[in-house]
Structure formats: structure tokens, C-alpha cells
Structure 1
């Protein structure tokens, strides 16, 4: 699990995502901020849509977000 994180969106839904930003390899455990249903990497402001599988809003990249029920 060291390469994955569990996070909760503002609506209460929980997701498991890749821990490392695909752009800069920043650790999203310390550099990631949840804003609504998005996770923002604060290093270069890449934004990932949790409710769309973790797809980046500005590039062809993903953090592979999966909705989880047991957290």
C-alpha cells in the first residue's frame, strides 16, 4: 500500500489513488489537497478528478482513482 493512498472527497466518498504525482513524482500524501471531488498536487497545481477515475484536468495523466466502500 505504500504506492497508494486513501483519501476522502468533500462529499464523503472515499477513494484509493496513486501516491505519486505522474507529473513531478511529488508525494501526494504531503503535497495533495482535496478540493471538492478533485485532488490538487500543490507542487505544480496539477488537478485530478477523483470522480472520473483520477484523470488530470490539464494533461493526459491519471492517479488511477478507485471508489472504495469500506473506509
Structure 2
């Protein structure tokens, strides 16, 4: 899973997402921060709504978030 990450939100939901931010190809495993149900790329502050499939809140981009149950 070099190109995907598994993350958990504070409410215990687990998601699998693309590892690389679509904006500047930043590694979200080291630069991503979970805030509620969102994942923020701290390099340029792009925010992705995990509960909406990983859609970026400010651009037409996604990290393809999938809810998982077995983690």
C-alpha cells in the first residue's frame, strides 16, 4: 500500500486515502493532520472531507477516501 494510507478520525472511523496530496504531491503520511472528519495537508493547507469521499474543500481535487471497517 505504498500509494494509500489508513487513518482514523477522532470519532473512531477509519479511512483509506491516497498517500500523495494532489496539489503538490506532498506525502500525507508525514504532512497530513486529521482534524475532525477532515484531513489537512499542512504544506499548503489543502483540506479534504473524509466523509465526502476525500473531496477537497477548496478545489476540484480528491484523495479518494474510502471508509473501512476492518482496521
TM class by smaller structure:
over 0.9
Flag as ranges the 4+ runs of structure 1 deviating above 3 A. Answer: none
Structure 2: runs of 5 or more not aligned: none
TM-score normalised to structure 2 length? 0.99
**1:67, 1:54 → 2: CA distance?**
10
Structure 1: runs of 5 or more not aligned: none
Q: Which residue in 2 is equivalent to 1:22?
A: 22
Q: Which residue in 1 is equivalent to 2:59?
A: 59
**Number of residue pairs aligned between Structure 1 and Structure 2:** 71
Confirm or deny that 1:11 pairs with 2:11.
Answer: yes
What is the RMSD of the two structures over their aligned residues, measured on CA atoms?
A: 0.3
TM-score normalised to structure 1 length? 0.99
**Within 5 Å, which residues of 2 pair with 1:35-50?**
35-50=35-50
